[in-house]
Amino acid sequence: MRDEELVEGLRRGDEKAFRILYREYAGKIGSIARSYLGSDDVDDVVQDVMLRIFKSIRKFKGDSKLSTWIYRIAVNVCKDYLAKYKRRSEVLTDFAEDEEHPSQHPVSEIDTEESVTGELEYERIMDALEKLSAEDRLLIKLRDVDGLSYEEISKIVSKPIGSVKSSLHYARKRLKKLLEEARE
Q: Mind listing the domains of the chain with CATH numbers?
A: 3-88 (1.10.1740.10), 105-183 (1.10.10.10)
Residue 8 pLDDT > 50, yes or no? Answer: yes
Distance, in Å, from the CA atom of 141 to the CA atom of 179, rounded to the nearest integer, reads 16
Instruction: Determine the pLDDT at residue 163.
Output: 93
Q: Do 141 and 32 form a contact (C-beta atoms < 8 A)?
A: yes
Per-residue confidence (pLDDT) for residue 169, from 0 to 100:
93
pLDDT, one tens digit per residue, over 10-59 is: 999 888 999 999 999 999 999 888 887 776 678 889 999 999 999 999 99
pLDDT score recorded for residue 120: 62
Q: What is the pLDDT of residue 40?
A: 64
Structure confidence at residue 47 (pLDDT)? 92
Q: Is the pTM of this model over 0.85?
A: no
Given pLDDT bands bounded at 50, 70 and 90, which one contains residue 160?
very high
Q: Is the CB of residue 62 less than 8 Å from the CB of residue 7?
A: yes
What pLDDT is stored for residue 72 in this prediction? 92
Helices (H), the chain: 3-12, 15-37, 42-56, 66-88, 109-131, 134-140, 150-157, 161-183
Amino acid at 11: R
The angle, 0 to 180 degrees and rounded to 10, between the axes of the packed helices 161-183 and 109-131 is: 130
Q: Report, as an integer, the average pLDDT of 141-149.
A: 86
Q: What is the pLDDT of residues 90-120, one digit of tens each?
A: 444 444 444 444 444 444 445 555 555 556 6
What's the angle, vertex CA 112, arms to CA 109 and CA 116, rounded to 5?
A: 140
**Residue 31 to residues 8, 62, 119, 139: CA-CA distances in angstroms?**
26, 24, 20, 12
